[in-house]
A and B are shown apart, each in its own frame.
Chain A
């Protein structure tokens, strides 16, 4: 235990709804997603379309399902025949069993037992095939759905990714698709099976004895009413529990993440009090559902008992009158006993469908999202470019009313390096986003070698622009693979040449397996500087005509710093380059410095000329480094 007070459930009373303590409101956890949606035919049809290609297998599955159901329902009937033709005090043959009567009793029994064994074997085979087929259909349909969703997401524009956390998208591709899994693989078929079972039981019972069957089913509406009511209550209760648990998990994750802050501020006791509220709330809600849930089976049993009682009482009276046999009575009791389970499952499945509806709606929402940056229908391929870039009065806003660029005009000669300077939010990143066509301009135009970038295909545009981001992305895989991402067809030698050019070769060779060293996602084995050098190599391998570089601010060791500066010079050589610069040496090396403020170009020129202007740039530089002028 820790050093503080530890309150047990006993001390906090196990039954009473917990009252919030002093620290109950210190953290905030928003309500999670909607759990279920009413049934919607349009959605169901859309989902159904994924099963359609496998309809032949599905028909097979349905046939097998029917066969399995029929063979299962036949057994109590056969037992009844065995009783009536062989074992009962007064024997009776029916239309089905008349042929048996010519054999002696022992043979009759053997024959019926042999038939039953045969029926069981058919049932076994049918079930085997049913499970195989339904899973094949379901899993293939899910594969298609997942693939379609992922492919569609790949086509979406950056606006989509920038406006929601990656985690939220991930949940839809994995969890939401998987929550359809039960429905797709077994759900639908097992629902049909349950339905068929119910119909089968009703038909058999009515065919055996109409009045007894009618009396038995008088209670049916009540049963349905009670179970569906109780079910929906239980379902909603569980949803609440799930919300509470999700919150608790979210909090624990956060508490672990911030554990050093907690330690620094000695907030252990206060956090414990907060968690205690959550914990107690969870327990109360859980037990609250149980108060209903625990009645569900007893109620079903009582219903079953009423049915059984009717069969016994009324059935025995019928038997006394001679319109019923012992075997039929036993069969009736068995069928009535089997009647409640499918009903129970169907009401449960109904809940699952509503949950699946919510998931499918979320999936469809993504499938219906269209890319904001689209190619023109007659988009031509951008020829190999020189690298002349013109921004003509470019206007852009990420959101209505919050202008990110307010009329930016720039002309950059082929091979020129442009340094973008300005405060956070001044528009540096927006310029890069416009140039790579991650977003479309809302006014004005961007031309490369005279081609409006909206008139050319995205692939031909982006394949000539390489972007090196501040937060270098390293994929899990070998270092070789990571560099080759820049040009998939590159040979190992070409990769190594690129790595050499950006001074990455030496440190790569120092790694345990050189270029074949596996790096984890986010490259945790590599230092910041090393990751950058890899992304330089990746960009160089792509042989772009235009380079966009968001220079990293992060600290790096002095030796790597020198390497990076050399590598940078190599990378910028002979290419039109846009650099969001954080190193003074990079800024000074740029042929053109563009100073941005609130989405407008306020100054432009080289370092010396801007310093002499004594304007914004001068102020920016001075403010940061004035210490040295006095210290030296």
Chain B
């Protein structure tokens, strides 16, 4: 129950609606109890005692009660919904808000599926309870208590005898609730197996077809299909055992009522009208008892969901503006890493590997404004970690990163990130127009600015070839673009704000050889006048790098220009030499094919090997 207090800021503002619903429900149930009483009056007064002149009043009273009830019936349902919907609105908004601001570290660990189910399924379970379950639960109490009072006032004996059957009904209902949940879970699991198998088959269709394995796949599917059907049949077996049984117990209770009540009538201890009224009143016990398992379950689910929601809502967003954050309207772009240490206290992004050592250790790197730094190294050497510290995707563990002499932790996040343009490893485009995508960082950018950025990123030409140009919708639901085209839009997006610092994190990793070259040409222009950090791209842009840094296990092992590093004969050189075999072959042919091409080809292979060494 504590969870409802923890989450009170979401529902308390609307508590009056909920209270209204509960009150309406109470009035509704009370008014309902007049119906058996009306029937009793009809039989005992009008018919048995022959007061036929009263007939119109009793008959009209039936309509009156129905009209009265209808207002409250509407009220309890609608008020409950208003209560639940408003609270859920706030809850959902609060969650979205939180998700927007949570730090990258959180997302490194989080599973999207889990977050999705919190925002959708858990919110829904919580809503169900607020707008419906809660009022129903109250009604269970109303119905049993009110009707018990009425029945006791009519006949104590008959009440006790008829309710004797109720505990048995309750036991069966609770037992059912207990077995039905595992059955549902098994159905869900079997379905997700079936879905996963189908999805795998569809994703691997080319492989399936190329090995002509269709029949094998059909057999695999049949197994899963059979298993799924079986879990459904098992669950149906449960329905078959329990529903008719619950029905039978309810009916037997009524039969018991008729037998004992009839005996009382025969003995003259009860009027016929009262007995008939009891036939209705007993349902005020049977209905809630049948539902009680379901209601308890709704409550348990809402509590569990609430816990999960609260867990997410109370996660610390970790990276935010400090109290001493300063506005930095303009920056030159002088980046300085001062003895930086950094460790992930969670598994490395995208893997399950937990690093027990620092991702970065003792990095001292001074990057003057406008210069270009290239970072090389294998997977896990710390390249991405290093650049992530500049826009504060993560905060350093020790040491500091400064821009123009100011610690990045003291710069307003908004300003910091506005001055940094980033092209991430994986290109992500929104389901929006190309224009919206490029102007993602600044929605009010004029079309001219968007076009200028697209031209710089070598994207303008292919954009103009799309059906609606800049208004073409792309992303998951829009026009499919090739990897290279997406990449170029991402680059245009990064430079729209004319950032002083540009970070290209493996920007050309997933495009093919020919396209990579095209992108490279554009990048050379982009880097001019900006402090640029480049990770693992073609060596042709390394040529422009003022320093090349080779990282190994979080440490800088080499730094210098291309020429210096080749001459130094260290790691850089040795990776370069892996292709020596090829190169030697080329040397023998150099005379025929002429020029320095042979070396070029060999070196390019080296470069490819070197760059790709880190994936």
Q: Convert A1-25 into 0s and 1s, putting 1 for each residue whose CB lies closer than 8 angstroms to a CB of B.
A: 1111011111010100000000100
Q: Are B599 and A319 in contact (CB under 8 A)?
A: no
B430: contacting residue among A88, A147, A185, A258, CB under 8 A: A258
Contact of B86 among A14, A301, A608 (CB under 8 A): A14
Number of chain B residues whose Cβ lies closer than 8 Å to a Cβ of chain A: 175
List B contacts of A4 (CB < 8 A). 97, 100-101
B605 touches A28 (CB 8 A): no
Q: In this complex, what residue of A is CB-closest to B84?
A: A286
Other A-B pairs, 8, CB within 8 Å; known A473-B203, A627-B540? A27-B430, A106-B263, A131-B244, A136-B233, A272-B100, A301-B70, A309-B63, A528-B615
- The 7 A-B pairs of least Cβ separation, nearest first, read A555-B612, A305-B66, A2-B101, A298-B70, A135-B236, A628-B600, A127-B244
Q: Among the listed B81, B478, B493, which residue makes an inter-chain contact with A286, where contact means beta carbons less than 8 Å apart?
A: B81
Out of A169, A319, A462, name the residue touching B212 (CB < 8 Å): A462
Residues of A within 8 A of B229 (CB): 139-140, 142-143
Q: Are A467 and B266 CB-contacts (below 8 A) given A116-B255, A266-B418, A309-B63?
A: no
Bound Cα distance from A396 to B221, whole angstroms: 34
Which residues in B have their C-beta under 8 angstroms from that of A632?
A: 596, 599-600, 603
Return the CB mask of B42-67 against A: 1 if under 8 Å, else 0: 11001110001001101110110111
Stretch at the interface among A49-57, A227-235, A617-625: A617-625
* A29 partner, pick from B43, B477, B540, beta carbons under 8 A: B477
Q: Which of B112-120, B144-152, B333-341, B397-405 sits within the interface?
A: B112-120
Tell yes or no: A223 within 8 A of B by CB: no
Measured in the bound complex, the distance between the Cα atoms of B515 and A424 in whole Å is 8
Q: Are B70 and A299 in contact (CB under 8 A)?
A: yes
A94 at the interface (CB under 8 A from B): no
A476 nearest in chain B by CB position? B200
Residue B346, interface by CB 8 Å: no
Tell me which residues across on chain A come within 8 A of B78, comparing CB atoms.
287, 290-291, 294
Whether B98 sits at the interface, judged by CB under 8 Å, is yes
Q: Does A283 contact B (CB under 8 A)?
A: yes
Q: How far is the CB of A273 from chain B (nearest CB, A)?
A: 10
> In the complex, which residues of chain B have a beta carbon less than 8 angstroms from the beta carbon of A271?
96, 100
Chain A residues, CB < 8 A from B213? 485, 488
Residues of chain A within 8 A of B420, CB atoms compared: 264
- The interface residues of chain A, by DSSP majority, are classed as helix
Q: Give min CB distance, B240 to chain A, whole Å.
A: 4
A623 to B513, CA, bound (A): 11
Does A577 lie at the interface of the complex (its beta carbon under 8 Å from any beta carbon of B)? no
Interface centre among A150, A161, A283 (most CB of B within 10 A): A150
Contact A279/B93 with A150-B218, A624-B513 known, Cβ cut-off 8 Å:
yes
Query: Interface code B242-283, partner A: CB below 8 Å = 1, 0 otherwise?
Result: 011101100110110011001101100000100110010000
Chain A residues in 8 Å Cβ range of B510: 553-554
CB distance from A133 to the nearest CB of B (A): 9
B65 touches A305 (CB 8 A): yes
Out of A29, A155, A297, which one reaches B214, CB within 8 Å? Answer: A155
Q: Does B179 contact A (CB under 8 A)?
A: no
Residue B77 contacts which of A128, A290, A438, A623 (CB distance < 8 angstroms)? A290
Q: How far is the CA of A298 from the CA of B74 in the complex (A)?
A: 7
Contact indicator per residue, chain A 324-365, by CB within 8 Å of chain B (1) or not (0)? 001001100100000000000000000000000000000000
What are 26 A-B pairs at a CB distance below 8 A? A8-B90, A9-B85, A28-B475, A29-B431, A79-B258, A83-B276, A113-B258, A124-B248, A139-B232, A139-B233, A166-B202, A174-B191, A252-B99, A254-B476, A260-B393, A264-B393, A276-B93, A298-B73, A302-B63, A312-B55, A423-B514, A462-B212, A562-B578, A628-B603, A629-B595, A631-B563
Please, which residue of chain A has its CB at the minimum distance from the CB of B222? A147
Asked if B589 is at the interface (CB within 8 A of a chain A CB), the reply is yes
Q: Is the CB of A259 within 8 A of B99?
A: yes
* Bound-state Cα–Cα, A302 to B428, Å: 57
Interface residue? B363 (CB, 8 A): no
B614 within 8 A of A: yes
8 Å CB interface, B475-517 against A: 475-478, 482, 484, 493, 509-515, 517
Residues of chain B in range 421-460 having any CB-CB distance to chain A below 8 Å = 422, 424, 428, 430-433, 436, 440-441, 443
- Contacts A23-B443, A253-B112, A557-B614 known; A10 to B86 CB distance under 8 Å? yes
Inter-chain CA distance A272–B96, complex, in Å, is 7
B122 contacts across to A, CB distance below 8 A: none
Q: Are B243 and A302 in contact (CB under 8 A)?
A: no
